[in-house]
Structure formats: C-alpha cells, structure tokens
C-alpha cells in the first residue's frame, strides 16, 4: 500500500465516504505491519465541500495557469511593473470567475470559500502545490503581499512641483498677477490637502484590510485546531466502539453459558425428582413386609 495512492483515492473520492475509507485503509496498513503508514493515513483530514470542488479540478488548465500567474505577479511586483501587474491581475480575475461559473450549484458561502482559496493559490506557492496535487482539505487564505488580494498596483512616485521663482520686485506685480498667484497657491494647498486625505483613507483601508486578514488567519488556526480535536474524538469513538463490541461479544457468550447451565440444571432436577420418587416407592414396598 502506497501513501500517495491512498491520498489520491481519498481526496479524489466522495467526501461523504472519506472518514470510513480513510479508517479502513489505516486498518489495512496496520494489519500489513506498517503502523507508521497507518498513522499518516489516519492523520489525513476530511476536505470541506469547497476543497473537494477544487481537488476535482486538480488537472484543469485554469488551475495550472493560476499557479503560474502567482510567479509572474511576484516578479512584476518586484520590478514595480504597474502595467504588467494590471494585466496579470485582470487575467487572474478572469480565471477565478471562469472556475466559479463552472460550478453554478455552489451556495454563496461555499463560493466565497472557493474564491478565497483560488486567491491563495496565486499568492502562496505552497497552497498552489496542494491545489495542483488535489490535496486541499480546508479553506486556504492568502497570506502574501497586499497587492495580491486587494488589487493594489504600485504607482510611480509623483515628482514634487517645481518651486516658483520669486519675482524680482514685488512692487511691480499688478493686481491681476497677484490674484493669479494667490489662486495657484490656493489650488496647490487644496491639492496637498486632498492628497493628504486620500493618503489617510488609504492607510485606514490598509489597516482594516490587515485587521481582517489577521482575523481570517486566526479563524483558520481555530479551524485547524478544531480539525485536530475532531480527529482525536474520532479515534476515541473508534476505540469506544471496539470496546463496546468486545463487551457485547462477551455478554453474548455469557448469556449462552447461562442458557446452557439452566438447561443442565433443569435436566439434573428432573433426574433428582425421578430418583426421589423411585426411592419413596421402594420405601413403601419395604414397609409392607
């Protein structure tokens, strides 16, 4: 028995049969004298519905192209290639939408989980490797750079406005030129204030995004712990079932022994009663002599 063959069977099969098939393969590995393989098989986690949907698409060209886009996006981001980033981000969204359209029967929560996992395929090479191998077990969230999930594209830095030359003599400026200069200065002040407000809004948006991403990471960690707890509970339940079956077998054996003993007791009692009756008959015959 090979671990990869078992994993392919489990993650490519019906999620409803995952636990029973996994436990059966673990028992077979243990019976074959390979407890280490049995433990590895038992540690495999049941995939969520969203993970199962993507596992079935492990060999699709859309998923492979998404994984390749991740490398291209990282290279474009390092090079600050804004145009390339925009084109790659647009292509990424097209692929994600195409995969979502191919699964029209998904509920909204499952669709959101599938979309988040597809984004993670682009952002995280490890998630991409799991998706291409068809080994996803739960939702994967992007933990990469912000530009991978928020659509952020680096913009070239704006050159500072050239400093105005001061007039040689203020006294020769007419009222019209003064008004024009004041209007230009006011427009510059308003532009600076607007830029400052936009920067503050962007900072708040980024802070909110990062907060949500931390919450998502904490939820993913909690889900992972819950999966571990479920696995432990399953193992305890299996042991309890085995123990209960053993007790039922022993009870059945005891009940059979009880039934046999009761039959033997009844037969012995019948023999005893017959002997006593015969003895009484003999005693009565002796009294007549």
Quick check: 166 pLDDT over 50? no
Quick check: 201 pLDDT over 80? yes
Decide if 172 is inside a domain.
Answer: no
CB atoms within 10 A of CB 202: 11
At 264-273, the pLDDT tens digits run 888 889 888 8
Same domain, 118 and 203: no
Decide if 126 is inside a domain.
Answer: yes
Decide if 142 is inside a domain.
Answer: no
Q: Model confidence at 140, in pLDDT bands (50, 70, 90)?
A: low
Decide if 81 is inside a domain.
Answer: yes
- Between the alpha carbon of residue 68 and those of residues 11, 55, 71, the distances in Å are 23, 18, 6
Give the chain's domain count: 2
Same domain, 127 and 186: no
Quick check: 148 pLDDT over 70? no
Most confident region among 27-36, 64-73, 151-160 by mean pLDDT: 27-36
Quick check: 289 pLDDT over 90? no
Gyration radius of the chain over CA positions: 39
- Residues contacting residue 13 through CB under 8 Å, at least 6 positions apart: 21
Same domain, 113 and 46: yes
pLDDT value of position 170:
39
Q: How far apart are CA 75 and CA 95, in angstroms?
A: 19
Decide if 284 is inside a domain.
Answer: yes
CA neighbor of 76 nearest in space, from 137, 158, 154: 154
Q: How far apart are CA 134 and CA 130, in angstroms?
A: 6
At 79-127, the pLDDT tens digits run 766 777 788 888 888 888 888 888 778 888 888 888 888 888 888 888 8
Quick check: 24 pLDDT over 90? yes
Q: How far apart are CA 123 and CA 67, in angstroms?
A: 8
Domain that holds residue 226: 179-288
């Amino acid at each position: 028995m090979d671990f990869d063959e078992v994993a392919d069977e489990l993650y490519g099969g019906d999620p409803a049969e995952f636990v029973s098939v996994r436990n059966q393969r673990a028992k077979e590995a243990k019976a074959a004298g390979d407890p280490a393989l049995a433990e590895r098989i038992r540690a495999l986690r049941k995939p969520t519905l969203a993970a199962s949907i993507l596992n079935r698409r492990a060999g699709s060209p859309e998923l492979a192209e998404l994984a390749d886009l991740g490398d291209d996006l990282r290279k474009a981001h390092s090079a600050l290639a804004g145009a390339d980033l925009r084109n790659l981000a647009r292509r990424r969204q097209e692929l994600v939408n195409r995969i979502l359209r191919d699964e029209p029967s998904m509920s909204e929560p499952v669709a959101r989980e599938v979309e988040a996992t597809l984004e993670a395929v682009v952002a995280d090479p490890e998630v991409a490797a799991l998706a291409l191998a068809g080994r996803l077990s739960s939702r994967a969230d992007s933990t990469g750079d912000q530009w991978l999930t928020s659509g952020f594209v680096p913009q070239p830095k704006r050159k500072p406005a050239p400093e105005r030359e001061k007039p040689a003599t203020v006294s020769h400026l007419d009222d019209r030129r003064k008004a024009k200069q004041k209007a230009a200065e006011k427009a510059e002040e308003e532009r600076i204030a607007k830029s400052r407000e936009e920067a503050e809004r962007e900072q708040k948006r980024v802070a909110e995004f990062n907060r949500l991403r931390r919450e998502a990471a904490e939820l993913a960690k909690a889900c992972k712990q819950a999966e571990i707890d479920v696995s432990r509970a399953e193992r305890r339940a299996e042991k309890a079932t085995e123990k209960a079956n053993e007790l039922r077998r022993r009870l059945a054996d005891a009940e059979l022994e009880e039934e046999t003993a009761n039959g033997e007791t009844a037969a012995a009692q019948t023999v005893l009663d017959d002997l006593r009756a015969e003895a009484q008959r003999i005693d009565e015959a002796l009294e007549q002599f």
